[in-house]
Amino acid sequence: MSKPLPLLSLYRSYQRVIRQLPHNYLRQFYQLKARDDLENLRDTKPPSLQRKKFKRISKEVRKMSRGLHGDWRSFDHILDIAYGRKGKLKHELMEPFISDPNAQVPPPIIQQTPLSRPPVYSPELRALLTSDISRTTKALKPSSLSRPPNFPPQADPLSEEARLFGTLSKRRHKNILQRYFKQEVQKVYPPLEVKTSGGRTLEDAGARGGAGQGLSLLKDIETLVGPPWKPPPLTRRERQALGDDATLETSLSSSQRHPSRWLRRRFQSLLGRIPILTFTPGQKSGTGRYSVERSPKFLGDLYTTGGRLLPVASATQLAWHQPILTEPKNQGKKGKS
């Protein structure tokens, strides 16, 4: 008889790691995840399968502990699981964009076989698949959605291969389209919510929202990251000129920023993996287009951003540089001679 697994000890280790997480949302998410993992482990009947699940959860707890002790790859794994960049939550965030209730149902490829219908790409999914921002790999061409690049030449009935070997079978045609759809959807980073341009609501614009709509997860991350640079403290004259309200607003924006630079950079890196899906309404009702953007606070590499971002010059700094910019170039040379 095999020795029973120490489930209670694993649960305590899980909870001990969760209490050390630096953000309230992370603690709430992993509290629910720990309960689901341990309940699933407890209800698993085959001992061999239960042992495999126990090892997987133990490995996950050790990885979380390494992330909390400074391993940035392990901490990125914690963020990816909590914000749906991988795992079960990713599929739940992608579910609203996979189907299009307003699209016309295409005819089946094989007659009298309804399951042989080709996949339908929703407008949201088309925008996500054809953008480099929302993809783990290179973006797809729009023509690849209707005709995948792995289509054999036999698919064209007028080709030489079709004349020699026969046309492509309908069953293989159906399998290629459906398999390509599933593979490419797995390479997409799902957005947390859908935004609209022009200040209109989703209902007024006629757009659908995401699974995380209204939770303000993206806004919380941007607040934790704060501005790309810390503004210098105001002088006494600047505080008197701006007043108490502006001084209070500046101090609040600085206090909401997380004090740990390492943690801010990890959340900035996460912003690069969270696409922002924006809907721009058209002139007619029910029309518009989707675009994919990134948060301006994401951590980009030096090649994509053109170097490290510098702070924007304030009005006081511009006033100091204004005489230098307006001074004639030849005036300085005459003074030296």
| Residue 262 burial (10 A CB sphere; 0-12, 13-18, 19+) | exposed
Q: Up-side HSE of residue 119: CA atoms within 13 Å toward CB?
A: 25
Give DSSP secondary structure letters for 20-63: T-SSHHHHHHHHHHHHHHHHHHHH--SHHHHHHHHHHHHHHHHH
pLDDT for the residue 243: 67
- How big is the chain, counted in residues? 337
| Residue 39 burial (10 A CB sphere; 0-12, 13-18, 19+) | exposed
Q: Would you place residue 337 in the very low, low, confident or very high pLDDT band (cuts 50, 70, 90)?
A: very low
User: Which residue, 146, 147, 92, 98, is CA-closest to 122?
Assistant: 98
Q: Would you place residue 117 in the very low, low, confident or very high pLDDT band (cuts 50, 70, 90)?
A: very high
pLDDT for the residue 242: 67
Q: Give kind and range of the element (H or E) at residue 212.
A: none
Q: Would you place residue 259 in the very low, low, confident or very high pLDDT band (cuts 50, 70, 90)?
A: confident
Q: Please give the Cα distance from 215 to 100 (Å, whole number).
A: 23
Answer whether residue 114 shows pLDDT above 50: yes
How are the residues of the chain apportioned to helix, strand and coil, as percentages rounded to the nearest 5? 55, 5, 40
Answer whether residue 207 shows pLDDT above 90: no
Q: In sequence order, what are the residues at sequence separation of 6 or more whose Cβ sits closer than 8 angstroms to the Cβ of residue 156? A: 162
User: Average pLDDT for residues 88-104, to the nearest whole number?
Assistant: 91
User: Average pLDDT for residues 90-115, to the nearest whole number?
Assistant: 90
pLDDT for the residue 310: 58
Distances (CA, A) of 23 to 164, 263, 264, 274, 333: 63, 10, 12, 18, 58
pLDDT for the residue 246: 53
pLDDT for the residue 203: 82
* pTM beyond 0.95, yes or no: no
Range scoring the smallest mean pLDDT among 73-82, 123-132, 243-252: 243-252
Q: pLDDT tens digit string along 141-157?
A: 999 998 899 888 888 88
pLDDT for the residue 307: 45
